[in-house]
Each structure stands twice: as structure tokens, then as C-alpha cells.
Amino acid sequence: MRKKISILIIKEPEGKMWSWSISWGKVKVIGIFLLLLFSTFLWIAFTHGNTVYDKMKFKKILFENKRLKQEVKKIRKIEHQFKQFKKELIKLATAVGVKGLEERIKFPQVKLEPNFSQTLTQLNSTFLLKEEKVSSPSFLPLRRIWITQEFSPSHPGVDLAGKEGEEVMSTINGEVSFVGEDSILGRVVKIKDKKGREILYGHLREIVVQEGKNVSRGEVIGYVGSTGKSSAPHLHYEVRINGKPTNPIKKGG
């Protein structure tokens, strides 16, 4: 016997009845159809949303290009006016017997991009290269980040909560410049790279790298602990660029 779903409607007070039955197989077919319809709707909405977002980014780039072109026109105009002024000034200098003025008066060199239609990918790539040279590493030493103490002038790093024994990873490609003990930070590892960045990892329970070893970004260098002056397991994470303490956690993306 096939399973059916029946719906019975009774109208009061006349007592009229309406019944409607549908097989369980048809219910499954209708359910699958509705699921496919809903999935299609979600896909269309997602695709449309991405398209709108891309259009907005493209318009923003076009607007920026237009602004840059206007700035270039202004610079060209000023440069032309400067050349005219230079000619008049040289004439005047020659008339009063001053020589060699032409070589000493030069318009400042302004580097202009030959192609203003850079794609968003090119612009983003340029930004990332610049960011990598001057700021803290974007890679983080723990898989989950929970800051228990922020960076400040009196605390030249951040404290990151972690579980005892949790893996600590190198955030840069570099050489281990120091492995040892500190009265406050406990077991410490320092790693230096060729860009002038030195990263310090403190309060480690165990260290698994040796001084002088080259390490890669993402490589495990030790484990979270509570050595030194510490009330609970955590990692003290410090970044110095050319010797200057820098906030390791960049705000606002």
C-alpha cells in the first residue's frame, strides 16, 4: 500500500468537507523541485551581488583614473608656465651679464604613470608589495588570535591567549637570531629577515629551533607556555622594524 498524505477541510456549521490526497513520492518530487528552485535563486542572487560589487569597484577605479588625468593636466600646465618664465628670466639674466643660469633652473621631475588604466589586481599587487616591505607580517603566529594585552609604548608587543602546548609558527622567512631565557619573557625565540624585521616570541614552553637556523613562514618554532613572569599560558609577540617596535596586529584589515 502506497503512503499518502491527506488534507481534510471541514466548513462549519454546514459540515461540508473537502479532502485532498497526494502520494509520498509526489511530495518528494515537489520537495526536490522546491530545493532546486531555492538553490537557483540563491545562486542568481550571489552572482548578481558579485556583479554589482565588481561594477562599483570598476567605477571607483575609473573615477580615480579621471582624477589622476586632471592632475596630470594641471602639472603639464604648470610645467609649461615654468618654461615660459624660465625663458624670460634667462633673457633678463643675459641682459645683465649673468651666465649659466639655464643649467641651475630646472623643473622638479614628476614621475607620471604611462598607463592610468591599471587593473584592480595590479593595484592590489603593488599595495601588497609595498606593505610587505614596511609593516608587520600579515601572517599570524597562532591559528586563533585573542589579544589579552594590546600594543602600547610601555608594552612593545601584544599578548595572545593560547592553550598550553599550542603550536607557535614563524610569521616570516628568516634566520633564528636568538634562542634563550629572559627573566620576564621566559623562553624566547627571535627571528630576523633581510627586510630589517625582527620578531620575538616569548613565554614559550618548548623551543624546537636552534640559533642560526633558517625558518620558513608557517613553520613551527615552539609551543605556547607560561615561562617567565606569566600568570597563564599565552604568547608574547613582538615585531621590530629596523630596531623600532611596531604594532604586530594591523587594525582595519
Torsion of CA 207, 213, 214, 220, to 10 degrees: -20
- Residue 252 pLDDT: 40
Overall fold of domain 147-246? Glucose Permease (Domain IIA) (2.70.70)
- Residue 46 pLDDT: 72
**Cβ atoms of 158 and 151 closer than 8 Å:** yes
Residue with cell 627571535: 190
Of the chain, the end-to-end C-alpha distance in Å amounts to: 62
**Cβ atoms of 173 and 215 closer than 8 Å:** yes
Distance of alpha carbon 97 from alpha carbon 113, whole angstroms:
41
- Residue 74 pLDDT: 82
What does the domain layout of the chain look like in residue ranges?
1-118, 147-246
- Closest Cα partner for 188 from 238, 140, 136, 152? 238
**Cβ atoms of 200 and 157 closer than 8 Å:** yes
Q: What is the pLDDT along the chain (253 residues), one digit of tens a residue?
A: 566 677 767 766 666 777 777 777 777 788 888 888 888 878 777 776 666 666 676 677 667 767 777 877 787 888 788 778 777 777 777 777 766 656 666 655 544 444 444 444 444 444 343 444 446 788 889 988 888 999 998 999 999 999 999 999 999 999 999 999 999 999 999 999 998 999 999 999 999 999 999 999 999 999 999 999 998 999 999 999 999 999 988 654 3
Q: What is the pTM of this model?
A: 0.49
**Cβ atoms of 202 and 185 closer than 8 Å:** yes
Residue with cell 528552485: 37
Distance of alpha carbon 12 from alpha carbon 17, whole angstroms:
9
The CA angle 158-136-140, to the nearest 5 degrees, is 65
**Cβ atoms of 189 and 171 closer than 8 Å:** no
Distance of alpha carbon 67 from alpha carbon 144, whole angstroms:
42
